[in-house]
A and B are shown apart, each in its own frame.
With several copies, the nearest count.
Chain A
């Protein structure tokens, strides 16, 4: 499968909710307690239950520190929850696997590899031939706007550039489920918009499932089938909102769509309420 970067999105796709809903990821009453150095137990996630259907684009919104990253780690299989269980395709998640590709908030690039080396790492690991892996990787690097930086080491990149390499690295090995932790957080508005489109494009073509953490309500509504709102720590699910907007979504059209506006305003209002209710711990 070759990744062809494209700027606009001239494809058609049935609206997600019309597909037969098959739960690819099930999170069942998951709680996570961290031991802190101060020898106190810290409850990061409390009793989270969530079902994600195959091919769905689900965003997670929530105040800083509410446990979004932790939830992603649990789905990724990197951390096993203190109680409760996470399942993928009906089977308990026992550890990481190439079916779930994470994009970490802190990038976690391999510092001893160049940009190209980082992006090629996944495909090579999956057994793709070197020449092919390189061609694919170069295409992805170009897509994230880093053409010309193939031979730079991570320490020589700016924050946003590192973030884009991390994105490309994960996309390169085509995981079935993408676990993205604020993947566009360090990008300027323009680059962000372009990558949002590219991501939607890939998502559509490859029928991926995406779990997407973001702080931008706009972004969540624009991209998602479903927005999960979490409340302040200990992290709980406050609300799950189905975004019933037609696809393909074109940014310019959507901005004028009153339904889109309403979703954004509603969600923002909910945030304000949540803050008023739950006092900062």
Chain B
């Protein structure tokens, strides 16, 4: 027996998707514009993409790059962010540097990146890496900063070395915030996975999308967008499971009492 509330909650994503598609359909009908196809046209193009073996290989290649870029970014950014959060010196060393490097559009640096990394995988993984690391570093940074000092003192008094404190106290204490960074990172990973293939590409989901864009095949463009959106939902759902398992201790005890309904 499932409670009605549960049914509503389960159905909400589906309803939201249907709602979005409907809004899109109405908007595109109203605009009558070739480069903005109706939702129906886009949905109709999905089987063509997913039925094509080559497209599937393309999409899998993109996902592989994304996984590698995301993995490296998380492994590098969390320690860096935590260190920045706990050490004023490290923070003032890296913070301006990061703020100088990150705003530079990677697309503009392509000629130089190509010089050293070529036009293949490495370049794209680098772009994804940069996209993911941005939120992970800053959320880890803030999370580590907000760790209650007396918790660290307790750890120090138990004989934990500074490094042990970083791993065994700062990391778990900041985990909820770090995971928020990772979640934003996941979103950006999907976006950069596509946009990294904008200028140069061999295979990948972005390949399909930008080719279609160049050719004015807008139903394919939007079908691809839908597919990326669907991948987003799936990855997010998986991530949410992992997150819930890791930070159950931090969930608020009572519901927010501010419903206006």
A126 to B150, CA, bound (A): 20
Q: Does B166 contact A (CB under 8 A)?
A: no
**CA of A170 to CA of B154, assembled, Å:** 9
Instruction: Give B246's nearest chain A residue, CB to CB.
Output: A112
A22 close to chain B: CB less than 8 A: no
Chain A nearest CB: distance from B158 CB in Å? 5
Cβ of B232 < 8 Å from any Cβ of A? no
Say yes or no: A112 contacts B156, CB within 8 Å. no
CB distance from A121 to the nearest CB of B (A): 7
Q: Which residues of A (53-107) have their CB < 8 Å from a CB of B? A: 73, 76-79, 95-98, 100-102, 104, 106
Interface size on A, residues (CB 8 A): 33
In this assembly, does B116 line the interface, its C-beta being within 8 Å of a C-beta of chain A?
no
Cα-based distance from A106 to B150 in the complex (angstroms): 8
Tell me whether A112 and B158 are in contact (CB under 8 A). Answer: no
- Residue A246 lies at the interface, judged by CB distance under 8 Å to chain B: no
Q: Which of A37, A96, A126 contacts B249 (CB 8 A)?
A: A37
User: Residue of A at shortest CB range from B171?
Assistant: A112
| Contact between chains at A112 and B153 (CB < 8 Å) | no
- A78-B254, A110-B169, A111-B250 as given contacts; A102 in contact with B157, CB under 8 Å: yes
**Do A95 and B257 touch across chains, with their CB atoms under 8 A apart?**
yes
Question: How many cross-chain pairs have Cβ atoms below 8 Å apart between A and B?
Answer: 72
A-side contacts of B253, CB under 8 Å? 155-156
* Cα of A173 to Cα of B160 in the assembled complex, Å: 13
Q: What CA separation (Å) do A98 and B157 show in the bound complex? A: 5
Complex CA gap A102/B154 in Å reads 7
A175: CB under 8 A from chain B? Answer: yes
- Whether a CB of chain B sits under 8 angstroms from the CB of A108 is yes
> Complex Cα distance A122/B164, Å?
13
Determine the chain B residues whose CB is within 8 A of the CB of A76 once the complex forms. Answer: 153, 157
Contacting residues of chain B (138-163) with chain A, CB-CB under 8 angstroms: 148-151, 153-154, 156-160
B149, B153, B257: which has the most chain A beta carbons within 10 Å? B153
* 22 residue pairs A–B, Cβ–Cβ below 8 Å: A73-B153, A76-B157, A78-B153, A78-B254, A79-B254, A95-B257, A97-B159, A98-B159, A101-B157, A102-B154, A102-B157, A106-B150, A108-B148, A108-B150, A108-B151, A109-B151, A110-B151, A110-B154, A111-B173, A112-B250, A122-B158, A173-B158
